Copies of this chain bind each other. A is one copy, B any other.
Amino acid sequence: MKGANSMNKNTRNAAIVLAFGIILWFCPVPEGLKVTAWHLFVIFAATILGFILQPLPIGAIALISVTFSAFSNTLKLDEALAGFGNSTIWLIICAFLFARGFIKSGLGRRIAFVIIKLIGRSSLTLGYAITLSDFVISPATPSSAARAGGIIFPIIKSLSSALGSEPGPTARKFGAYIMQVEYHANAITCAMFLTAMAGNPLSVELAAKTIGIELTWTSWAVAAFVPGMISLLVMPYVLYKLYPPEIKAMPDAKGLAEKELSVMGAMTRIEKIVGCVFVGALVLWATSEITQINATVVAMMAVCVMVIFNVLTWQDILQEKGAWDTMFWMGSLVALATALAKSGFIAWVAKSAGAVIAAAGLSWITAFSILIIVYVYAHYGFASVTAHISAMYAAFLAISVAAGAPPLLAALAFAFLSNIMIPLTHFGGAAGPIIFGAGYVTQGEWWKLGFILTTLNVVIWLGIGGVWWKVLGLW
């Protein structure tokens, strides 16, 4: 019966998306827009609605959208396929493959246990240990679900079990706290590096296509560093106070980590290679403005080295379904969004909304603040960061700039907060279902803590971040 229900639900959702698209398609074209621009917008909007309702997986919806856009001559075939050869898409594809090597080698686990061994003396320091572990591996793991779910989750789950903290009556002993710490840490680290979350390059691409702002790997990392570090320092402590674990001292953690490390033995050849590739890629990413080696080329080199040294077999590459899924949905979106920006649609929206804001006599700071608050809390309505960025980033950014906000400031703020908003709900990011699904935290607790900490982080990133970006001369 459940299968039949979900089939009905999918059919219903598909009908909604189709009806929405068909009705809009035949609506009169608004004054000042070309027919093609309007049709592109309709395809784009229906795609986003499809991403939200998901009558089919988002990759399938994206494929249908580009196919229809080529079939209907809204886009030329080359334009429709251009996203699949886009360098930003290939940065993410290669980063997915890179992360596969990272997970396969076991280096991520080792790093986490070493950090626990070094600083895991209490629940609070363990919170910091997990936060630090997530941070260290984040630049090479754009799948936040792989980072939180594949590397960190098994560790905190087994730590909790070892401490006798299971879902249910013993959840609050330790498990509930550490699960929350990881989910919040993961969202913050997502915001800190261009390569730490699959959707970040989409923001970069949209900023370039919509308002002509180029965000590099380095400029992203530098701008995010100060607010990110403050968030990472503040969060475990605030959670410790708001949602205290019953176990405070933790004399056993060090021994447990030592035991796991001794089971792992000495670093393997593969771990050493992955370590070198990781450090090498970080150095090349960080110095790309000096060396002029594009971030995508760095990621491609990292994958090549892993294949050459047999860290990853070619079969591992071909089997990395996350990479191909991302290629489909993100490649299609990039193609549509690029064409939408070129068609003049976004500029038209921004101009129209800008005129309304000007007529209302709002300063850019007021307008920008309203826009960004709406943007962040709208995440209650999204089950995916990607859908959210796709739906709102370009338009909100363009309107902000039209209202007078400094372009680079606005581009960065929306890009960073696209990650900071993740913990609002338990379904708002890919790692949510894994960690929430472990059953340590109730939905009520999750949403309450999510609201408080997200709001705190918004203040940190816009307030302290804003000052830092002023110091950097970004606005």
Contact = CB atoms under 8 A, between A and B. Distances in A.
Contact of A82 (B67, B85, B297, B304): B85
Nearest to A63: B304
Contact of A90 (B81, B324, B325): B81
18 contacts: A56-B308, A59-B314, A60-B304, A60-B307, A60-B314, A63-B300, A63-B307, A66-B300, A67-B300, A67-B301, A70-B297, A77-B87, A77-B294, A78-B85, A81-B90, A82-B85, A83-B85, A319-B319
Contacts of A81: 85-87, 90, 296
Give the number of copies in the complex: 2
Interface in A53-98: 56-57, 59-60, 63-64, 66-67, 70-71, 77-78, 81-87, 90
A71 B318 CA distance: 23
A318 B325 contact: yes
Contacts of A66: 300
Contacts of A325: 314, 318
Interface string A172-206: 00000000000000000000000000000000000
A293 interface: yes
Contacts of A64: 304, 307-308
Contacts of A262: none
A27 to B, nearest CB: 24
Contact of A78 (B83, B87, B293): B87
B321 A67 contact: no
A173 to B, nearest CB: 38
Nearest to A83: B85
A453 interface: no
Nearest to A314: B57
A94 to B, nearest CB: 9
Contacts of A85: 78, 81-86, 331
